[in-house]
Structure 1
C-alpha cells in the first residue's frame, strides 16, 4: 500500500463554510495535521472532539516563509512514510495560495507518495461576493510576499493575498505605486465572509500601510483603473496608441509612413538622445528615449500591418539574443572581466552569422551603411585591429597624425588637400580608438561647446545693441575666452 497524504481545505471562515464531505473525513481521521491553528474553524473543531497537531512551531524556527513551507512538506512526507496515511488540513482551498501543497505535488513522485486533494471553500468565493467582483471581467491574484510591478495589469481586478502585517503592506504599496496613481483607492478586506470578524476598509493607496489593519486573514483588493491617463505607464497601452495612429481612422501622416520614410527620424532621435546624455539632462533624456521608442514601435506596427513581424517578435528576438549572448549570466560560462565578456560576445556573433548562412565576405563587413563617415572609419579600424592589423603603440599613431598633418600643409591643389585631409581624419580616428574615445561622441561634444560659446558672443553683442558682424575680432576673441570660463 502506497503512502498517501490527503490534503483538505478548511474553507474561508467558520464552521458554516466547512463542507460536509470534508468534515466527515476529518471526523474519521485518526490524527489531523494543521498547517496552522490560526483559523476560525479550529476552535469549533476542538469543541467537536477532533484531534489534531499543527506546524505552527515551524514558523518560529525560520526567518523566511519558503523555509517554513519546505520543512512542513518534508515533515509530512516523513509522517506519510511512517504512518502510510496522513490527513493534512489547510485554510481555504488546498489549490489556492498554498505553497506547501505545491511543494508536495512537485515532490510526490521522487518521494514515492500519493498526494490527494479534497476541496474546501476558498477565500476567493467570499471575496468575489463581498467585494462584488466578477472575475470574468479580468482577474489576477498575487502573493503579498512577492508582488512584482511588471506582473500587474491595472485593467483587471487584483487581489493581493497573505498581507499579514504592515511590513508586508508597505512592500505591496511600493510595488503597486509603480503601476497605479498614489490616490487610487484600494480595499483592505479582513475575514471576508465571517460576520463576527469581517472588516472592510477603503483607503487611498498611499495610506495602505498607515494603520494597523492587518491580520492573518487580510487581503488587499485593487480595483481596475477607470481613467485612461492611469494607463499611460503601461507598455501595452502605448502599443495600442500606435496601432490607433496607423489605423484607417488614425493619423494621415502616421498611416503613410514606411520603413524607408522613417529612416532619417530614427537616426535623428538617436542623436538627440545622445545630446541629452552629454548635457546631463535626465528629464530631456527620458523624453528623447521615448522618441527613440516611438520609432521602434512605428516600425513594429508597420511590420504588423504588412504581416511580416510585430512588436512581440522584436521583444522575443531581443530577449533570446540577450540570454544567448550572456552565457556567463544565464549559463555556466565563467568570465573574469569585461574584456572577456566582449570577446565572448564577438565570438557568439560570429557563430550566429555562420548558423544563419551570413558568413561575412570580409573582416570589415557588417558595418551599417547609414553610420556617419567618421564613425564608420572608427569601426573599420576596430575590426582590423582585432586581427592584429594595428599600431604597436599610441606613439606610432601620434607620429602618423603629425605626418598626415604635414602632408595637408604641403598639398599643392584642391584634390591633394581633400585626399590628405581625409587621411588626417582617418588617422585621428585611429588615435581616438587608442585613447578609448568615441570620435563621433567627441565631435558632438565639440559642436555643442562651439554652439554655446558662439551663442555667448551673440548675446554679448545684443547687450551692446549691435550685430555680431559689427564687433571687432579682438573683442570677439576676448568674449570667447570669457565663455570658456562661464
Structure 2
C-alpha cells in the first residue's frame, strides 16, 4: 500500500535520527529546534506575502518537517505523539466553535470572539484548577507590533476598548501631541515612552479596520526597499554614485521609482 506524504516524511525523519543516521539530526532537541522553527516560519510568511506558489509549497514543507521533528522527539521521550497533538487540537477547535459543532448562535462576530475567549479561559483554568488571566497565554517572544495587536484584540473581547473608532483616532492624536512635547525635550526615556504609546494606539486603530500593524509595516518596508533598489539602478544608468548625489537629486530618483509602480498597482 502506498504511503501518504505525511508518513513518508515521518519515515525520512526516523531514518535521519536513527543510530546510524545523520550526526547533526541525531543531536537535536525540541529546544535546539526552536530558532529554526522561528526562522522557517518567517520564510513561510515571506513566501505567502511576496513569493510564488512554489515558494509557499517549499516553505510550508520546511515548517511541517520541523513540527514533525519536534513531535517525534517528544514521542521518543514517552511524552506524546503527533497524533496526540493533532487529536487534542481537533477537540479544542470543536469546543471553541459551538456555532459550528453545536447549536450555539451568535448575532455578531464580536459575540463569537468573546465566547472563544471564555472557552479558552475555562480550558486553561481546568488544567491546574486556578483562574487564568486574560493575557497569561500571550507568548513573551511575540514581535512587539504583533503583541500589541493581540493585546488589543484580547482586551476588546472582554469589552475593554473604545466604543467608537473616532475615539481611537482622538487617542492617536493625543499620543502624537504627547510625543511632540517629549521630542522637544532631552529626556530620551520620556521620548521612548511616548513613542511606544503612539505605536500602541496606532496598532489598535489598524486592528479596528481589520489591519495588522506588523503586516502593514512589513509591506511598507518592502516598498521602500524596492524603490531604493530602483533608485540605485537609475543612478547607475546615469553613471553616478547614489551616495554622492544631493538630496534633491535623490528625491527625483525616488519619485521616478515610485511613479513606475503606479501602472502595476492599477492592474
Moved more, 324-333 or 455-464: 324-333
Of structures 1 and 2, the larger Rg is shown by 1
Structure showing the higher strand proportion among its residues: 1
What per-residue deviation string (whole Å, max 9, x for no partner) do you get for residues 127-174 of structure 1? xxxxxxxxxxxxxxxxxxxxxxxxxx426xxxxxxxxxxxxxxxxxxx
Match of 1:437 in 2: 211
What per-residue deviation string (whole Å, max 9, x for no partner) do you get for residues 385-438 of structure 1? 233322232222222212222222222122221111111111112212222211
Cα distance in structure 2, aligned partners of 1:269 and 1:379: 22
Match of 1:26 in 2: none
| TM-score when normalising by structure 1 | 0.49
Cα distance in structure 1, aligned partners of 2:152 and 2:110: 18
Cα distance in structure 1, aligned partners of 2:26 and 2:235: 47
1:285 and 2:56 matched: yes
Unaligned runs of 5+ in 2: 262-267
Aligned partner of residue 356 in structure 1, secondary structure: helix
**1:334 deviation in Å?**
4.3
**1:361 deviation in Å?**
4.1
- The count of residues paired between Structure 1 and Structure 2 equals 257
**1:367 deviation in Å?**
0.6
Match of 2:243 in 1: 469
1:417 is aligned, of 178, 191, 194, to 191
Q: Closer, same or farther in 2 for the Cα pair 1:405/1:304, shift >3 Å?
A: same
Cα distance in structure 2, aligned partners of 1:361 and 1:444: 33
**1:368 deviation in Å?**
0.8
**1:336 deviation in Å?**
5.7
1:154 and 2:2 matched: yes
Structure showing the higher helix proportion among its residues: 2
Match of 2:74 in 1: 303
**1:303 deviation in Å?**
0.9
Match of 1:173 in 2: none
1:427 and 2:201 matched: yes
What per-residue deviation string (whole Å, max 9, x for no partner) do you get for residues 218-253 of structure 1? xxxxxxxxxxxxxxx621011111121222222222
1:254 and 2:25 matched: yes
- Contact (CA 8 Å) 1:360, 1:366: kept in 2 or not? no
Cα distance in structure 1, aligned partners of 2:160 and 2:89: 32
Match of 1:453 in 2: 227
What per-residue deviation string (whole Å, max 9, x for no partner) do you get for residues 274-305 of structure 1? 22222262221111111211221111122123
Cα distance in structure 1, aligned partners of 2:252 and 2:144: 35
Match of 2:265 in 1: none
Match of 2:166 in 1: 395
**1:482 deviation in Å?**
2.2
Match of 1:86 in 2: none
Cα distance in structure 1, aligned partners of 2:235 and 2:34: 40
Cα distance in structure 2, aligned partners of 1:328 and 1:403: 40
Aligned partner of residue 450 in structure 1, secondary structure: helix
Aligned partner of residue 444 in structure 1, secondary structure: helix
Q: Closer, same or farther in 2 for the Cα pair 1:364/1:475, shift >3 Å?
A: same
Q: Closer, same or farther in 2 for the Cα pair 1:384/1:345, shift >3 Å?
A: closer
Aligned partner of residue 453 in structure 1, secondary structure: helix
CA-based RMSD of the aligned residues comes to 2.3
**1:307 deviation in Å?**
2.1
**1:337 deviation in Å?**
5.9
Match of 1:324 in 2: 95
Aligned partner of residue 298 in structure 1, secondary structure: helix
Unaligned runs of 5+ in 1: 1-152, 156-232
Match of 1:370 in 2: 141
1:355 and 2:126 matched: yes
The aligned runs of 1:115-194 (5 Å cut-off) are 153-154=1-2
Q: Closer, same or farther in 2 for the Cα pair 1:404/1:363, shift >3 Å?
A: same
Cα distance in structure 2, aligned partners of 1:407 and 1:335: 40
Cα distance in structure 2, aligned partners of 1:248 and 1:478: 63
Moved more, 476-485 or 235-244: 476-485
Cα distance in structure 1, aligned partners of 2:130 and 2:221: 38
